[in-house]
Amino acid sequence: MLKNKVVLVTGASSGIGLAIALMAAREGGRLVLSDVHAQAGVEAAAMIRSQGGEAIFVAADVASASDVETLVAQTLERYGRLDVACNNAGVGGAAALVADYPLDAWAHVMHTNLDGVFHGMKYQIAAMLATGGGSIVNVASILGMVGFDSASAYTAAKHGVIGLTQTAALEYAAQGVRINAVGPGFIHTPLIASLEGNATLMAKLVAAHPMGRLGQPNEVAELVVWLASDRASFVTGAYYPVDGGYLAR
């Protein structure tokens, strides 16, 4: 589905981002992986190459506009174009009630989860317009549609990602840039793994999904790769949950 397309994935060193990068490579994409965790990112790119794919790693913090500008510039320097981008990098943030939420933790979540997507699209769209268009997939969350106790910053940022996605999609639809968002439910990732010691919380999370389980990173990657590909040629400005029925309740 992505044969010879240049594909940029942020937050690509583990979890959903790594699954997206691996699947995009198997579909023929030429990958540019990025993350703040440099060693893990280098290893992820090496993993793709060991499987016969093409991949490079560029360290970047999406909270920094200059980092993202450089990331896109290095992609263009290496490949001459950018066809697909997946803005996946994000953090969970502190668990606290709104009145108790630490200001520095709020700023960190917003800078990474919302500003990071804006930074990505700002430079990715410009690159795509120069070569006739492309596809951007932003990783939001089910919490971009509903609230969640003690996760105000994350929830607010992910709501913002959906609104930003829809607005940008309207602005660039006629110029050949498709922009969509996906909303994962609770997925087995390193972030979730850190909660596995809390059996009560894990049982609550599983029970919130009508399918009776958490999702797997590959299940999100399947949707992202489809949206990124030309098979989704008439899809833009959309939000697709991949959540085991969480939002249907």
Q: DSSP string covering the chain, please? A: --TT-EEEEESTTSHHHHHHHHHHHHTT-EEEEEES-HHHHHHHHHHHHHTT-EEEEEE--TT-HHHHHHHHHHHHHHHS---EEEE--------B-GGG--HHHHHHHIIIIIIHHHHHHHHHHHHHHTTT-EEEEEE--GGGTS--TTBHHHHHHHHHHHHHHHHHHHHHGGGTEEEEEEEE-SB-SHHHHTTTT-HHHHHHHHHTSTTSS-B-HHHHHHHHHHHHSGGGTT--S-EEEESTTGGG-
Residue 123 annotated among the catalytic residues of the structure = no
Of the residues 101, 154, 240, 246, which is catalytic?
154
Which positions are annotated as active-site residues?
A: 154
